Amino acid sequence: MSTQTNTQLVGYLPDDTPPAWKLVFFALQQVVVMFPATVLVALLTGFHVSTTLFASGLATLGFILITRGRIPLYYGSSFSYIAAVAAITGVKALGTVAPDSLISQAQCGIVASGLVSILAGIIINRFGRDKVEKVLPPVVTGSVAIVIGIALAGTAMNSASSNWTAGLITLLATILFSVYLRGTLGQLPVLLGVAVGYLASIPLGLVDFAKIAEAPAVTAPHFTFPSWSPAAILAIMPIAIATIPESTAHLYQIDLYVNNLAKQLGRKKHYPIASLLGTNLIGDGIGDMIAGAIGGPAGTNYGENNSVMAITRNFSVSVLVLAAIIAMGLSFFGKLAAAVSSVPGAVIGGVSIYLFGVIGVQGVALMISERVDLFSARTLAIASTILVIGIGGSFAFPNGMIPAFGMKLPAIATAAIFGIILNLIFEFFPARTPVAAVESSEAA
């Protein structure tokens, strides 16, 4: 059920369940948001699109089951793994499907990456969040969130530029709907914005109805199973280390927004989502293992879906469960999947300008909420290097891969790891404060 205040604020907290007819539209909105990026990862790595959709939904259900429905996050394919997975599958052209034997080898590395997240989660549960924040303080997780949002800005703008008319119509419609609509419609701004953009794209000749007509009515995911590959483990498994701060940032953001909504709605209940960091990472790892076991790419919880939840104030876990089921259903219904994929790139780009920006702003909100001291030399060093390495690396080099030391390093992952290491150096070798220096001189 939802709760309304005297100002007609409507929102759904994690343990709320919207009415059935609303539930369907809210879930469809989540699917529309996750669809482009999830499918794009499959196209770039040589995985089967239908299997990727099924794996995304199944991994989300696994995540929700493991976390007992306490964390409202959706699992989707991660861009951080693209280069490593493509190196195993050997795919160089968009949309080329890799041979089953190579996909199976990549799956071995994906399953192994899940073990890394699970191990990290177990360690966190053993030693507590306060110890973890020594490694992943808000300045790191907040900066990584900003990098993720801004680094994706190029993708959004590039897609929107394929037809600025459709892109701008979608962007403005989504913004206006999110600001001015109230009640149930006010919680569907992304779905409504995409619908307006889609309708505007038809007279512009951007919608290919022939592909929908040609698509089979019923299809089936192409499942493959992992095969042992030490090379894939070495290439893919370490990337999980970089997705940990990304997942952590998303969790802290959701905690902030959920508890703020609970306060606005007058609920006398605190949702301890941030304290479930270890459980979140275990769930993330389980998601990777589920996806990897059946032929889906590695992933993590999705910032795009988080943005929709923040914009619409809808954090219902029931919505995410239905979205996962719909995603799995899409993998079997060819025409439905074709209809969703027929949404023009310009429309997706238009709505992504808003969504990706919200991801970055959520990182800022996290640092403000946690009272990060941005006047501290230590904090400035960590935040500034993460931002420049992550954003600069994403835009300066093809596919966001930084050439260094004979390797190609993914920009976002490299920025996260650099920030973590730099923070640990400051932890082990703290700088002497001016006060400490004065006290020391007086003692002498």
Residue-wise pLDDT tens digits, 26-38: 999 899 888 777 8
Q: In this predicted structure, what is the pLDDT of residue 294?
A: 95
Nearest C-alpha neighbor of 389 from the set 419, 432, 349, 358: 419
In this prediction, residue 435 carries a pLDDT of: 47
Q: What is the per-residue pLDDT for 440?
A: 43
Report if residue 4 sits inside a domain.
Answer: no
* C-alpha–C-alpha distance, residues 255 and 252, integer Å: 5
Radius of gyration of the chain measured on its C-alpha atoms: 22
For residue 375, what are the contacts with CB-CB under 8 A and spacing of at least 6?
Answer: none
What was the pLDDT predicted at 311?
83
**Packed helices 303-312 and 138-151: angle between N→C axes, nearest 10 degrees:** 100
Q: What integer pLDDT is reported at residue 211 of this predicted model? A: 80
- CA nearest 233: which of 402, 88, 401, 418? 88
| CA atoms of 70 and 65, how far apart (whole Å) | 9
Domain assignment of residue 433, yes or no:
no
Quote helix, strand, coil % in the chain, to nearest 5.
Answer: 70, 5, 25
Task: At 193, list the tokens.
Answer: 């914005």
For residues 391-395, give the mean pLDDT: 88
Mean of the pLDDT values across residues 69-79? Answer: 88
Per-residue pLDDT at 282 exceeds 90: yes
Average pLDDT over residues 157-173: 92
Find tokens 């969504």 and name the residue. 355
Report the pLDDT value the prediction gives residue 441, as an integer from 0 to 100: 43
Contact 357, 178 (CB under 8 A): no
Confidence at 68, pLDDT banded by 50, 70, 90 = very high
Task: State yes or no: pLDDT of 238 exceeds 90.
Answer: no
Q: Is residue 439 part of a domain?
A: no
Q: CA triplet 49, 279, 329: central angle to 5 degrees?
A: 25
Split at pLDDT 50, 70, 90, the class of 405 is confident
Task: Please choose, from the candidates 151, 121, 148, 134, the residue with its C-alpha nearest in 3D space to the C-alpha of residue 240.
Answer: 121
Residue 65 lies in a domain: yes
Residue 133 has pLDDT above 80, yes or no: no
Predicted pLDDT of residue 83? 65
Structure tokens at 13: 């907290």
Q: Is residue 435 part of a domain?
A: no
User: pLDDT class for 184, splitting at 50, 70, 90?
Assistant: low
The 8-class DSSP code of residue 442 comes to H
Q: What is the mean pLDDT of residues 133-143?
A: 81
Question: Does residue 155 belong to any structural domain of this protein?
Answer: yes
More confident position, 400 or 276: 276
Q: pLDDT tier at 423 (50, 70, 90 boundaries)?
A: very high
Kindly state the average pLDDT of the residues 68-94: 80
Torsion on CA atoms 123, 127, 129, 131, rounded to nearest 10? -110
Total number of domains in the chain: 1
Contact 363, 310 (CB under 8 A): no
Pick from 369, 408, 280, 342: nearest CA to 35: 342
Instruction: Tell me the two tokens of residue 370.
Output: 């946690």
Q: Is residue 2 part of a domain?
A: no
Give the pLDDT confidence score for residue 324 in this predicted structure: 95
Average pLDDT in the 122-150 region? 81
For all residues of the chain together, what is the average pLDDT? Answer: 84
Q: Would you place residue 384 in the very low, low, confident or very high pLDDT band (cuts 50, 70, 90)?
A: very high
Report whether 206 contacts 346 (CB < 8 A): yes
Highest averaged pLDDT of the listed ranges 11-20, 235-244, 404-413, 431-440: 11-20
Mean of pLDDT values over 357-362: 78
pLDDT band of residue 401 (cuts 50, 70, 90) is confident
Give me the amino acid identity at 274. Answer: A
266: three-class secondary structure by DSSP: coil
How many beta carbons lie within 10 A of that of residue 112, not counting itself? 23
The per-residue b/e assignment along 75-91, b for 16 or more CB within 10 angstroms, e otherwise, is bbbbbbbbbbbbbbbeb
Max mean pLDDT range (105-119, 241-255, 365-379, 388-402): 105-119
Domain that holds residue 76: 13-428
Lookup: tokens for 209: 């109805």
| CA angle, 373 then 275 then 369, to 5° | 30
Residue 383: closest CA among 402, 367, 359, 401: 367
Tell whether the model's pLDDT for residue 246 goes beyond 80: no
- pLDDT of amino acid 438: 43
Q: Residue 6: what pLDDT?
A: 43
Residue 342 corresponds to which tokens in the numbers above?
């027929």
Looking at the domain assignment, is residue 438 inside a domain? no
State yes or no: pLDDT of 329 exceeds 60.
yes
Residue 169 phi/psi, 5-degree rounding, is -60, -45
